[in-house]
Amino acid sequence: MKVAAIQMVSSMRVSDNLAQARALLGQASQAGAELAVLPEYFGLMGQQDGDKLTIAEPYGQGPLQQFLAQCARQLGLWLVGGTIPLAPPTGATVADAARVFNSTLVFAPSGACVARYDKIHLFRFDNGVERYDESSVLLAGNQPTTFDLDSRDGQRWRIGLSVCYDLRFAELYRAYASAGAHLLLVPSAFTYTTGQAHWEVLLRARAIENLAFVLAAAQGGRHDNQRHTWGHAMAIDPWGQVLAQQDQGAAVVLAELDFAQMQGCRARLPALQHRVL
């Protein structure tokens, strides 16, 4: 199965970001990708965290969700929509109503939304220069999510969803492996500082320990809000080898995933069967 990890340098202008995403998704489709993954915050990298609230949508309707459904349908793609801000349900407490979920939505080639994952782990970092605390505007999810994709070669892929900071929590991906996942997705907007130190080693570790493919879309470059993201969107095989990557800048990272290769890795090294805890 050919897959595409989309790398973007999203701006503070939603219309520009959607145009950039549409062009990159078109390239992925033209190249024969069946599955394409947009990065975290593909629709907006705001001046401040609270800007996410201005484009929040109720689940099931809104321009960002319409955009994703239309792209999936027009391009014939399985489309994983990076993340978009989804409003909490009606009846939320006053405190929760002032925040949003950072949500990944999956659209089938028909345009139907077939899965939703709300980012579970919320990033916090303070090195005295850079300060981030996603919990100030985001609500944490609590439910791991998989979906099944029947590829053109007749294989049924089980795919586990995660977002960015989730990457540091190995137990989430182990749960996906236990649920039969073959491919793990990580749409992200890693900071340059943390990405330079940890991005590749964590992605490769998640692939190796779960004997699964990993596909990581990314934000990668200097944004007009002056935030600098690490980029390095990549695809990794179950043996931990990097199949393809893009350092910085907008790009489509393409890779062929071989189901038989994954099965062979799991047969030669049946580590998933040797778990004790």
Residues tagged active-site: 40, 119, 164
Q: Cβ atoms within 10 A of the Cβ of 23, count?
A: 11
Q: 86 forms bridges with which residues in the sheet?
A: 57, 101
SS3 117: strand
Degrees to nearest 5, angle at CA 137 with 131 and 122: 65
C-alpha span between 52 and 56 (Å, rounded): 6
- Find how far residue 122's CA is from the centre of its chain: 14
Is the backbone of residue 261 left (phi > 0), alpha (psi -120 to 50) or beta? alpha
Query: Residue 207 belongs to what H/E stretch?
Result: helix 200-210
Kindly tell me the burial class for residue 272, based on how many C-beta atoms sit within 10 Å of its own C-beta (0-12, 13-18, 19 or more).
middle
Q: How far apart are the C-alpha atoms of 104 and 172, rounded to whole Å?
A: 16
Helices (H) and strands (E) counted in the chain, each on its own, are 7, 18
